[in-house]
Amino acid sequence: MKKGKQKIIDVTFELILEQGIKETSVRDIAKAAGISIGTFTYHYPNKEELLFDIFEMVSGKQDKVLEEAFASNTLEEKKKALEKILREATSNAYFMKLNYYLLSEAFAQNTTMLEKMKEKYSVWRMQFQEYLYGEIKAHGKEEALNASLLLAMIDGLGIQLLLDEASIDVKAMTDKVIDILYS
């Protein structure tokens, strides 16, 4: 990434943590980065494109956890890996809020964002299929359905944790999911 882009990303990340997503404007970002709005738009046509880059950066860490999980072979290893995936995917409130914000943008007729989020979720579904069943078996209807259910559960779990973290037992949920997927 270019130095200018990285500086914009770093400043935006900090501003969003301080002010929130909606309250952080392009003007705020440009000012904090010490650049003009024209320079900002040279790198990013709008705030949502910048947010998607940040989302990709943060979700890259989630993807690495999934890659590590692919090495799981036994049911016990898969169970531990799934618990780690669920904990990682739901422990970063910043990532969850950013994900839901970008989804809301996509659903609010931002067709570019909608296509990007569809693509990201498609990649995640395929990663879950491969994690659950291995690369060779990952392409059946049942495997696709279970991967979609797992992804939906993570999204729902994220929402519940943002609303009331104390009421969710991730380990118990992991045990239940493993029972459903592997029984």
Asked if the model's pLDDT at residue 163 lies above 50, the reply is yes
103, 117 Cβ separation under 8 angstroms: yes
Q: Output the CA torsion 82→67→124→89 (10° steps).
A: 50
Asked if the model's pLDDT at residue 44 lies above 90, the reply is yes
DSSP alpha helix (H) spans, 138-169: 141-164
Least confident segment among 141-150, 155-164, 169-178: 169-178
Asked if the model's pLDDT at residue 1 lies above 50, the reply is no
First to last CA, the chain: 45
Please give the Cα distance from 58 to 36 (Å, whole number). Answer: 26
Match 């118990």 to its residue by tokens: 172
DSSP H/E element including 92: none
3 state DSSP class of 71: coil
At 98-120, the pLDDT tens digits run: 888 888 888 887 888 888 889 98
DSSP alpha helix (H) spans, 20-110: 26-33, 37-43, 47-69, 75-91, 93-107
Please give the Cα distance from 155 to 90 (Å, whole number). Answer: 8
pTM for this model (two decimals): 0.76
